[in-house]
Structure formats: C-alpha cells, structure tokens
Amino acid sequence: MMELRFDMQYEDAYREVYELVKPKYRLFTAGPVACFPEVLAIMSVQMFSHRSAEAKEVHVDTLNRLKAFLETENGEVILFPSSGTGFMEAAVRNTVPRGGKVLVTTIGAFGDRFAEVVETNGREPIILRKEPGYAVKPEELDDALRKNPDVHAVTITYNETSTGVLNPLPELAKVVHEHDKLLFVDAVSAMGGADIKFDEWGIDLVFASSQKAFGVPPGLAVAAVSERVFEIAEKMPERGWYFDLPLYKKFNEKKKGTPSTPPLPQIFGLNVVLRIVEKMGGKEAWLRMYRKRSETIREGVRDMGLSVLAEPGYESPTITAVVVPEGMKGVDVYNAMRERGFELAKGYGSVAEKTFRIGNMGYMTFEDIEDMLANLREVIADLKKRA
C-alpha cells in the first residue's frame, strides 16, 4: 500500500489545475460571469462549521441585506444549496397539486425550461409563447388567464437570457393579481441587474442564481417567498425534503441557517457584493450602472450596423442578443472574439445560429466595454469581407 507523504511537492496539484482554469479572457458571458476580486478573496478563507455562531451571523446578515435589496418586509428570503433551477422545482412542488395546471409564459429557452420542470414534476403546463425577441404584453396575459381560469400559478421569465428581453414585470404582476393567481418569477439573470420590488409588485416567489448579475461563482440560489406560498405549501403532500420551503423558513428562524450544508463561500461572496453595492452608492446607483453598461453595448453594436434581437422598449439591462448579418453565423463572431481575448456568449435556444450574446453582468469596467466594442467592430468588418 502507498504511504501518504506530506513531504511531496503536492502544491503541484494546484498548479496543474490552475493551468486548466486560469483566466484567459475578458468576460462578457451569460453566466458564470467575472467576479469582483474581493468576492474571490473572501471565498478562499479556510472553512468552518455552517452551524457555528460566525456562519449564523453571516447567514442572517445576508438575508437582511437581500430583503432590503428586494424591497421586502413581508417576504421570506431563502438561500438554496443549488443553482437557480432548484427554485423552479420548489415553486411547483410546494404549491401546485399533482396534475394541477400552471400558466407558463415563455419568450425563450428559459421559459421553455420552466414548462419542462412543471411537466416532469407531474403538473400540467399551459403555454403562452412569444416569438424570440418579444415580451409578453399585459393584454395577452389577461386573455390567457381568462381562457384558463383553473391555473394555480403563472410563471414569468423576468429577463430572458437567450433573447435579451426584459418582460414588463410590474404590469404583468397586476394582471396576475386581478385573476388572483400565484406569481412565480424567474429572475435568474435579472436580480441584481434589474429592479425588483417584491412587496409593491406582489410577487409570490422570485428566484435567482449567484453566478449572474450579483457576480458570485455558481452554486447558490436566492429567493424571496410570500406568506401565501408557505400557507399553501404547509398543506401540500409529497413536496419533498430538499426543496421543502416551510422547512427552510423554520431553519431561517430557529437555526439561522439552512437544513442541509450550504455553499458557505458563495454566501460570503454574496454578502461582500451586497456591501459593495452599498459602498458604490446603493441599489439605485448600482442598477443605473447596469442600464448604462447595456445601453453602451446596444449603441455600440447598432453603430456597427448590427441589430439587437429585443423589440424596442424591452431590452435587457444585463445581456444583449445581437442578430448577425446574412451569411454570418453567431458562433463565428464568438470564436473570432475569443481569439482576441474576449469571451462573449454564443447564441442560445432557437435563435442560436443567427445571434451571439454580449453579457454585461459581474465585474467589468466601461473601458473593458469600449475595448470589446472596438474589437467587435473589426471582427464584424473582417467577417463581412469573408462572407
């Protein structure tokens, strides 16, 4: 048997993996995105028990900061040891009985995912679908709800990452209330980059992933959940254990933690970001920065003669899907930009071939954006010559 040896140069293990994953590109991705160095630094502290007083203090502080960020006093903030999709599953299993109907609005690939989650959990999705690039309009939602009065809930993708479209959430939320349905909001690529007023807009469940607009590595999902959801969930049979929402609420209150072991480094990283937001001028200033980043990108690509997939007035503040000219493929732009040291995002879903995407989430400067646009201009000109 081999003896364990501590005199070996085992730090080579780090170097070997570092060679595989070391940063090579400036990131304009759809997520995971680049993180503030302060976030990465806090995530490398030595681990300790998630039931320790220190972990409890960070847990409660993170919940309080998120409550302020999401503008909720009534909502319960929940941290899941999963990616964002976990909350799709949780929303459905905790509130909709087996065989029950859910109105799933879909404006792209992630709306389609919500429909799959509903279906694979034995519930029935009723689909309201829009063409890629378009948002759901309040009258369309009203019409769908009139035709389907027996749905338990409505799902809305706040920001469709595949098309770069921001749905008009406050207006859609009003319609959902008029029909007295539960409202589930996928804010995976919106939260942290687009405003969310949980109480005022009357949301029942809104969730996001750490690796998007907060700029934290993947592995943590964040949500705010209404009292109404807990009341329904308490009576819902077979809602499972791992995503049992009332259990998470109980642990928030009694244990100041999560039922199972959470990704502590991501929680520390998120806490740092929420403090950075405050130190950079607060939520409004932070969201303005996001709007400005995305406007700069849209103006830049339009100035090159390219068009943005999103219909005017519904453009995302976190990601732009750009339509490539005839004879060009989105992936060609993506590959050419990689050669120049910029990682954009490939097209995704049904528009994969004819688009590429430019994310503006996480850690980046306006100089990075200008550099990226200058390179993109050359790449497009070059590809046009070859087309």
Ligand X SMILES: Cc1ncc(COP(=O)(O)O)c(C=O)c1O
Residue 167 binds ligand X, judged by CB under 6 A: no
Question: Using alpha carbons only, what angle is made at residue 240 by residues 61 and 86, rounded to the nearest 5 degrees?
Answer: 55
Q: Is 188 in the site for ligand X (CB under 6 A)?
A: yes
Q: Give the binding range for ligand X (CB under 6 A) out of 175-183, 184-192, 259-267, 268-276.
A: 184-192
Determine the Cα–Cα distance for residues 163 and 299; give it in Å rounded to an integer: 17
CA distance linking residue 379 with residue 333, whole number of Å: 7
Contact pick of 72, 157, 266, 316 for ligand X (by CB under 6 A): 157
**Is position 84 an interface residue for ligand X (rule: CB under 6 A)?**
yes
Sheet holding 345-346, edge to edge: 307-308, 319-323, 355-359, 345-346
- CA geometry: angle 176, 95, 252, nearest 5 deg: 105
The stretch near ligand X (CB under 6 A) out of 37-45, 81-89, 176-184, 363-371 is 81-89
Tokens of 306: 């390219």
299/322 Cα distance (integer angstroms) = 12
**Contact criterion met (CB below 8 Å) for 361 and 33:** yes
Exposed (0-12), middle (13-18) or buried (19+): which is 350, by Cβ within 10 Å? middle
| Nearer CB in complex with ligand X: 80/198 | 80
By beta-carbon proximity to ligand X, the closer residue of 90 and 245 is: 90
Residues 189-218 that bind ligand X (CB under 6 A): 189, 209
CB nearer ligand X, residue 223 or residue 232 = 223
Which of 163/252 has CB closer to ligand X? 163
Contact 337, 343 (CB under 8 A): yes
Q: Which is nearer to ligand X, 157 or 271 (CB)?
A: 157
Residue 334 or 336 with smaller CB distance to ligand X? 334
Contact between 135 and ligand X (CB under 6 A)?
A: no
CA distance 242 to 46: 26
Considering only the stretches 50-58, 83-91, 165-173, 285-293, report the one whose residues sit in contact with ligand X under the rule CB under 6 A.
83-91
User: Exposure of 40 by Cβ count < 10 A (0-12 exposed, 13-18 middle, 19+ buried)?
Assistant: middle
Position 42: which residue type? Answer: I
For ligand X, which stretch binds (CB under 6 A), given 186-194, 249-257, 304-312, 357-365? Answer: 186-194
Minimum distance of ligand X from residue 157's CB (angstroms) = 5
Per the DSSP assignment, residues forming a β-bridge with 124 are 101
Question: Among 161, 167, 252, 266, which residue sits at the site for ligand X (rule: CB under 6 A)?
Answer: 161
Residue closer to ligand X, measured from CB, 76 or 160 = 160
Stretch that binds ligand X, among 185-193, 233-241, 253-261, 338-346 (CB under 6 A): 185-193
Contact 193, 212 (CB under 8 A): yes
* Burial (0-12, 13-18, 19+ Cβ within 10 Å), 343: middle
Stretch that binds ligand X, among 78-86, 133-141, 147-155, 226-234 (CB under 6 A): 78-86
State which of positions 360-379 bind ligand X (CB under 6 A): none
- Shortest spacing between CB 110 and ligand X, in angstroms: 4
Among the listed residues 83, 121, 335, 375, the single contact to ligand X using CB under 6 A: 83
* Spatial CA neighbour of 98 closest among 238, 198, 206: 238
85, 95, 266, 318: residue in contact with ligand X (rule CB under 6 A): 85
- Rule CB under 6 A: say whether 105 interacts with ligand X: no
For residue 125, the SS3 value is strand
Pairing of strands 319-323, 355-359: antiparallel
Taking CB under 6 A as the rule, does residue 266 contact ligand X? no
Contact between 132 and 357 under an 8 Å Cβ cutoff? The reply is no
CB of 223 to ligand X, least distance (A): 12
State the number of binding residues for ligand X (CB under 6 A). Answer: 12
Q: How far is the CB of 120 from ligand X (least distance, A)?
A: 15
| Contacts to ligand X from residues 29-58, by CB under 6 A | 30-31
> Nearest distance from residue 31's CB to ligand X, in Å?
5
Contact set with ligand X (CB under 6 A): 30-31, 83-85, 110, 157, 161, 186, 188-189, 209
